[in-house]
Amino acid sequence: MKKHWGLCLAGRWFTTDDTLEVRSPFDGSVVAEVSRASQSQIEEATAHAVRAFERTRSLSSYERSVILEAASAGIARRAEELAKVMSLEAGKTIRDARVEVARASNTFKVAAEEAKRIGGEYLPLDWIQNSDGRFGITRRFPLGPVLGITPFNFPLNLVAHKVAPALAAGNPVVIKPASSTPVCALALAEILLDAGLPPDAISVLPCQGSVAEPMVADERYKLFSFTGSAEVGWRLKSLAGKKRVTLELGGNAAAIVDRDLGLSLESAAEKCVRGAFANAGQICISIQRIFVHCDVYEPFMELLVSRTRKLVVGDPLEEATDVGPMIDLASAEKTESWVKEALAGGARALTGGVRRGAMFEPTVLVDARPDLKVSCCEVFAPVVVVSPFSDMEDALERVNDSAFGLQAGVFTHDLRHAIRAFERLEVGGVVLNDVPTYRVDHMPYGGVKDSGFGREGVKYAIEEMTELKLLAVNSKG
Ligand code: NAP
């Protein structure tokens, strides 16, 4: 992968004097030098996107599908190179980086299929007497330029979740990637251009958040799709004016481990360890809280703690590594202070709790009060808080006792408990017999409460990115 990257403005590459050094969170080495966009380049990209819409809106389903399929193949062809650069810029373990690259390729593949399925419906309108001979046809039309702002933790696939549905729907798209991880997004632009996308349909503009902010208010964008923290997302929404907004924000996801499980306690514990510590806990649906039925609490804790201690923490590029660094020193220091606060407030660490630079040891806390930051805020770090429960209704209430609501996991063999959880949990998705961290890329995905609104998962994002229009026909006219 090359070391110097220009920015991609309407399919053309520009280098600027204002550059950003992308550094490895593991050892601080320079991964790449990236050009940052100026205000005037942002204005130019927006104007191009408006013009590009005339072209993208008239591409046939077949043409859009072929481009998206070629992009999927392009990602697969460059998989190892992309995984390596992702591991370097984001500190993601190389094994997890390979999984993300494969998912991104699949996201485009799904979009290639969905591009051909943007249908409508026939509606009989002759339900009342004076509407005799009337019927309607609905059809979805592309909205216009889409603005996507993306976070650091899935630097390729979360860009794919904005770009692929936007293009499938026939919209041009402008991406502002996270400043710590812009290279994957720029490489994706290269792949899209190689795949035959009309060049002015894509811009990837690394820049500071404050430089990108005017785009959020710009009325020429018809949809603003944001993935990132709740703090930034809700503030930006207030600037977005009349455009549509999709917010994919943070959470403090919970798992419930019932007395009667749908699988073995070992398997549930193993899944919880992965769900809590993969990507150093920096996943919006990472497990932060586990509620375990008191009848299985002790054996579950033994399994959870012993498996957590076995995790290999270290260089993300090493094949054996399970947990790499956090994205930067400041994030690890913040985690350390929250864990210290929890310990001072009566919590106990059964393992972990130690920071070395940007590395934070996988940490299991018990006896943590619900008002501690590690319980009620988004920790976004390799820290999990475990508590026992004796009554399922109480466990459901404790999961709901959160400002957030992305996904929840429920391990249970009891059908009544499973249905009750589906009905009562205030989240965008309930995952039965697995962790809340489960996601495949075509399922509807998104949150409620402070976790945001709108749904991704290609088909659902296409719905957000299109306008439903009705043709009402008077066949007797
Ligand atoms: P973040 O700090 O909110 O940043 C997200 C993006 O917003 C970055 O590109 C950032 O740019 C940009 N930004 C910041 N301030 C801005 C402004 N004033 N105007 C325009 N853009 C601005 O989040 P993060 O630390 O990258 O990501 C972690 C968060 O994302 C967590 O809360 C996590 O839960 C959430 N997340 C949610 C989902 C989901 O699907 N629900 C998925 C992944 C992550 P800079 O990088 O230049 O600051």
Q: Is 378 labeled as catalytic in the residue annotation?
A: no
- For the stretch 104-138, pLDDT in tens is 999 999 999 999 999 999 999 999 999 999 999 99
- For the stretch 384-429, pLDDT in tens is 999 999 999 999 999 999 999 999 999 999 999 999 999 999 999 9
Answer yes or no: is pLDDT of 151 > 80: yes
Answer yes or no: is pLDDT of 148 > 80: yes
Map out the domains of the chain with their CATH numbers.
4-249+451-471 (3.40.605.10), 254-440 (3.40.309.10)
92 Cβ contact partners less than 8 Å away, ≥ 6 residues apart? 86, 100, 279, 316, 324
pTM of the model: 0.98
Answer yes or no: is pLDDT of 477 > 90: no
**Rounded Cα distance, 155 and 202, in Å:** 17
Q: Which of 23, 149, 252 to mutate to test the pocket of ligand 1 (most atoms within 8 A of CB)?
A: 149
- Are the C-beta atoms of residues 3 and 19 closer than 8 Å to each other? no
Residues facing residue 245 across a β-bridge: 224
Q: Which of 211, 249, 404 to mutate to test the pocket of ligand 1 (most atoms within 8 A of CB)?
A: 249
> What's the 457 CA to ligand 1 centre distance in angstroms?
19
- For the stretch 16-48, pLDDT in tens is 999 999 999 999 999 999 999 999 999 999 999
Q: Report pLDDT for 279.
A: 98
| Catalytic residue of the set 248, 378, 456, 464 | 248
Q: Report pLDDT for 271.
A: 98
Atom from ligand 1 closest to the CA of residue 451: 41
Angle of helix 265-277 versus helix 294-309 axis, rounded to 10? 50
Q: Is 248 labeled as catalytic in the residue annotation?
A: yes
Residues in contact with ligand 1 by the CB-under-6-Å rule are 149-154, 158, 176, 178-179, 208-210, 212-213, 227-229, 232, 236, 248-250, 284, 378, 380, 406, 447
Query: Which pLDDT band, with edges at 50, 70 and 90, does 240 fall under?
Result: very high
Query: Which pLDDT band, with edges at 50, 70 and 90, does 262 fall under?
Result: confident
- Are the C-beta atoms of residues 49 and 203 closer than 8 Å to each other? yes
- Are the C-beta atoms of residues 464 and 455 closer than 8 Å to each other? yes
Q: Report pLDDT for 261.
A: 87
Helix (H) or strand (E) holding 162: helix 157-169
Mean pLDDT of the chain: 98
What percentage of residues in the chain have a pLDDT greater than 70? 100
DSSP letter (8 states) at residue 210:
H
- Are the C-beta atoms of residues 187 and 163 closer than 8 Å to each other? no
Supply the residue whose CA is at minimum distance from atom 23 of ligand 1. Answer: 228
DSSP letter (8 states) at residue 155:
T
What percentage of residues in the chain have a pLDDT greater than 90? 99
